[in-house]
């Protein structure tokens, strides 16, 4: 005859809380930060020097989307607030943030705003990459201000290029622009993230119930 297990063998020990695991930003906090952020041109008007603005404008002119990419973006149906932590002085921002402006122009559903890295450190603290406040870092949000994911500071194509050449730092000067092939690869990398978030939102049971689709 088998002995009846004791209570101490069948009840799991009390789970100890993980220090520092609490206090994530609320939806209201994300909404407030997003509303404090600026659209592309407004961000540069406020924070960029004339020399920095010239670099941003020059790179913006080099970015182009393929017809297929424009069609993909034009098919987005869920509103996507995207808050990008950035610095007008940052070379990695120079070489990536103009891409987001092209995405927003191609999709009414994509609402991109730019927040200076140091404007809201309490929010920026939740968007660190490898323990550092690297930029650009994009926070993808739902229409009801839930954080879907954040992504930064360079894409895989950019990191492969940096690794192969052994040049650059976590935020380069932006003086030497990347080759056209790298621009296209980085654009594709970022578009993958935008598409992924759109599909997460589109297939969300909660949002489908809200929209009746």
pTM for this predicted structure: 0.86
145 contacts: CB under 8 Å, gap ≥ 6: 27, 28, 30, 31, 34, 81
Give pLDDT tens digits along the chain (213 positions).
555 555 455 565 677 777 766 678 999 999 999 999 999 999 999 999 999 999 999 999 999 999 999 999 999 999 999 999 999 999 999 999 999 999 999 999 999 999 999 988 999 999 999 999 999 999 999 999 999 999 999 999 898 888 777 545 545 555 555 689 999 999 999 999 999 999 999 999 999 999 999
> What is the pairing mode between strands 80-86 and 110-116?
parallel
Give the count of alpha carbons within 13 A of 99, CB side only: 26
Residue 127's Cβ-side half-sphere holds a number of Cα atoms within 13 Å equal to 32
pLDDT tens, residue by residue, 170-190: 455 555 556 899 999 999 999
CA angle 207, 209, 213 (to 5 degrees): 90
CB atoms within 10 A of CB 193: 17
Please name each of the domains of the chain with its CATH number: 25-211 (3.40.30.10)
C-alpha distances out from residue 85 to 31, 71, 114, 153, 184, Å: 14, 27, 6, 10, 22
């Amino acid at each position: 005859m088998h002995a009846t297990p004791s209570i101490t063998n069948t009840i799991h020990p009390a789970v100890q809380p993980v220090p520092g695991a609490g206090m994530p930003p609320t939806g209201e906090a994300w909404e407030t930060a997003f509303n404090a952020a600026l659209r592309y041109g407004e961000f540069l008007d406020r924070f960029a020097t004339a020399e920095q603005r010239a670099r941003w404008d020059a790179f913006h002119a080099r970015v182009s989307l393929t017809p297929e990419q424009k069609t993909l973006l034009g098919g987005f149906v869920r509103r996507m607030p995207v808050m990008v932590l950035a610095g007008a002085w940052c070379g990695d921002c120079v070489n990536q943030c103009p891409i987001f402006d092209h995405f927003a122009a191609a999709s009414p559903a994509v609402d991109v705003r730019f927040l200076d890295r140091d404007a809201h450190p309490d929010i920026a603290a939740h968007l660190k990459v490898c323990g550092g406040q690297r930029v650009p870092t994009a926070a993808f949000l739902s229409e009801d201000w839930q954080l879907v994911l954040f992504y930064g500071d360079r894409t895989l194509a950019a990191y492969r290029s940096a690794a192969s050449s052994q040049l650059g730092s976590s935020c380069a000067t932006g003086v030497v622009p990347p080759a056209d092939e790298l621009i296209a690869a980085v654009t594709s990398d970022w578009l993958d993230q935008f598409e992924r978030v759109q599909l997460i939102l589109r297939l969300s049971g909660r949002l489908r119930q809200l929209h009746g689709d």
